[in-house]
Structure 1
Amino acid sequence: LHNMRTIQHLPREKQMQKATETMELYAPLAHRFGLFSIKSELEDLCFKVIDPNSYKFIARKLREKKEAREAFIEEFMDPIDEELGKQGFTFEMKGRPKHIYSIFRKMQRQQKPFEEIYDLFAIRIILEEPHTKEDCWRVYSIITDWYTPIPKRFRDFISVPKANGYQSLHTTVITKKGRKVEVQIRTRHMDDIAEKGVAAHWKYKEGKEGGSETLEKFVHWVRDVLDNPRPDAATEFVKDFQLNLYQDEIYVFTPDGELRTLPQGATPIDFAFDIHSEIGERAIAAKVNGKMAPLRQKLDIGDQVEIITGNKINLNPDWINDVVTHKAKSRIRQYIKQKERQKAEEGREIWEKRAKRANIEISEQDLTRIAQKLKFDSTQDLFYDIGKGSFDVNELYDVVKQFTSKGRIDDKEDEDKPAPVTEEEIQETYINAARSISDDKALVINGELTNVKYSYANCCNPIPGDDVMGFISRTGDVKVHRSNCKNIHHLIQTDGERIVDVSWAKNIDSKFLGAVKVIGEDRVGMINDITDVLSKSLETNMKSINVSSDSGMFEGILTVYVDDIDHLGRIINKLQKVGGVKSVFRYE
């Protein structure tokens, strides 16, 4: 958290590396630990680095609407405040906007502009001690007397807390004017745990509201999810770990009525491994709510699950695609690797018998070089293919025979590898290569105007004004991506030394592709009005238009040639004024 708060002191490419890593691992980790305030701050700080334009846009909109929002919150809270006071509740009530990144996620998920995201804030009612969870239900009753609740948006995390100990009642209500408002009701104890996470459990541990039991459950979960039997598979482990950190939860029951918490999308296989690794390994069938069900069937909230086991290990490697928990994935991968090792040992035995018959001896080091020449990553992979019969041992014999007779492998690409160099030296090499094939264009790299060959990534179509990063390819040219592009985030993790801080040179005399999504009424002449605005009013050329309509509404994606982000903004503003158009926004 401190690194992210002081990140402005790092070079831009280092900022991107740290922000991407934090967004992918540490923010979800804080979420799972129940550290909501830290998780929210980490996400916003990362978002500010990764996509500064979107961050500034939402922050500005929130500031502009601040007075209207505060007036609405006060009007909403007044009758509740009065009624709770009458009934003798001691409480704190506050309304605050959701954090910037969560608003952005909602805009992306719902494909709506900022103006159409209505639940931008949540009202929180915190009951002071000695109020208990029963009082939370009384408060819920008072609120729903005043405002109409939306049944589908009700969540009871008091009766069934989250795995990290989080407890609260969540409901979304509709005001008389049709505005949706999310309301959270909790005690001060619950609020401490929601904001401070597991650390707050210690405060309540001794003899208060079962804090010790909650903490023990959580510590058990952490130990379980961090168990990594294969340290070599770090990338897979992190990917699974992320899934477990952010997924929504469902609650299912054992045949004895014991409640178990699993990630959404879990199957009876996940349930079996959650009970015990041995049960997962020996599972042959499942009963869900008393009826036989496939082991791969997704479970629903409230399902009662019984696992039927056999006497021997029944793991199926194909299950890897059906499970969502880290524990199940990890054990199945371990089993797959174990089977691969056994098959590779069989392949090695086949080779050793063949070599013995021909009286050939070769060192492991030379065998590794031969495996690589045959396009295998290692001798293990080579022997695995021989063991399962997909590679002929005689083909290996022919290459080894050629090697032992000549003392070398005939491969033009096989050269001595250069000595390791520093990240800075690698980057300078790439930049020099880029300069050597320069064209008439100019790109600002690391603050300096440099003649290099560069192009714009098709995956994100950056346009002047977007925050951008560069990736230097092995041929030396620079590929420019938007900083919020998923592909550049992957490249930061895998080839960080090739990432360079780039910015737009002034007076760029080119046109750029931008995409706009338009939603509106499906009326006669709508397409004509839209194209008129583009061609006549803005003198903008359109590359393509894709339109679909349903039940009197249409959605159109327009691809247009623009000068920069301001030009795209003017297009969006003009299109919003066309009759019948409901919303217009940049299409990612």
Structure 2
Amino acid sequence: MVTVTHPAAAITGKFESDCEAWLATLKEGYDATELALLHHAYQRARQAHEGEVRLSGESLFEHVLAVANILVALRADSEVITAALLHEMVATAKLPLTQVESEFNTTVAMLIDGVTKMDTIQFTAPELEHRVSLNTETLRKMLLAMVDDVRVVLIKLADALHNLRTLNSLSEERRIHIARETLEIYAPLANRLGIWQIKWEMEDLSFRYLEPERYKKIAGYLNERRITRQDYIESFLKELRDALMAAGIDAEVSGRPKHIYSIYRKMQRKQLDYHQIYDVRAARIIVNEERDCYAALGVVHGRWRYIPGEFDDYIANPKVNNYRSIHTALIGPEGKTVEVQIRTRGMHQYSELGVAAHWRYKENVGPNAGFERKIAWLRQLLEWKDEVRDASELADNYKNGAFDDRVYVFTPKGQVIDLPTGSTPLDFAYHIHSELGHRCRGAKINGHIVPLIHELKTGEQVEVLAV
């Protein structure tokens, strides 16, 4: 978002006390070395953004700290959070990437560079308004930005989510554009990475701006019946806990929060009235072992009649993004329908954090980054086919190596240009327009002048210097 600069205030010791208070909330998840890295990043960002205010009225530092806190909630590693704190400094040319690398480390610089590349990708209104026109080129735009490290996408998602939370001060046109971009690009991306807590919030907030009347209608219906529904669920949960305990199953039982957009989508998809949506009343069972999931299922189906056609075993048959749980819908007490999810603690962690869960260090052993990147990359590719018409062909082409002889570069405006491997800036110029090719006298790659015989590489930004 656009920022305006006010006269800088004096840098005071309050920064240190604020920083220490923030770090105190993180101590359980990060070691001393990681906390030192975060301390330095906090102080650098706080000082650099002093006096800068966003159009929303909040300071720019409050924005980067909010983004960092979203990532903390995802249990992201210290380098990801550091990159989140610093990325606006790089974007506003207050901190060169070379200095990030020397002052922090190479990984942090690489993550910020990836976020910067994602920021150059611009989605036009026609692309967003016509969902099927999110075609192969647009898919490539997103895939290009993700290819180096999936953690780049975590930062971008957190940034996009906080932007969505602070839309009220923008014009209606901007609110609608950002909400649509989030709903059509970033929420599905969060889904592909399995980060449901971000996906749900993005969808609900976007829906609120894009379809305010429908949002209010569903929200109002939920609110009107909240007390009755809560009383019912509490009674159902007690009965469920007692039944599981009697069967000797150690389980954590809770109600499950409902999301307005998911209710709306189910109503649209199944052409149902609100009263026919089974999972408005929902419960979740979390157990220790996979075998306990099926034992719990036996207890549930033995006590209440399940609804045919509403049972899914995603443990035996995981979703493409590796989501695993058992879903069933029951005729509960008083003849009311209740949806029940059953999963292990490990499955629950993955369902909440998705691929982000694999990037935290555990017992001083780092994640197998190469393996995780490949799994995440494949998961993203395969998941496209569920949401975009052209995607399965894209995934097949990727798996068959069809892109091996192509190179994909950006124009200064973020448009992706598809060229044969071995292409030069001159080839790029002629691809744009023959007249530009005739007038080409030089080129810049990522802001640096290069010879016209420079061989282009995927992800580079190319600027033609013409007479």
TM-score (norm 2): 0.47
Structure with the largest fraction of strand: 1
Query: Bigger relative contact order, structure 1 or 2, given CA contacts below 8 A and separation 6+?
Result: 2
TM-score (norm 1): 0.38
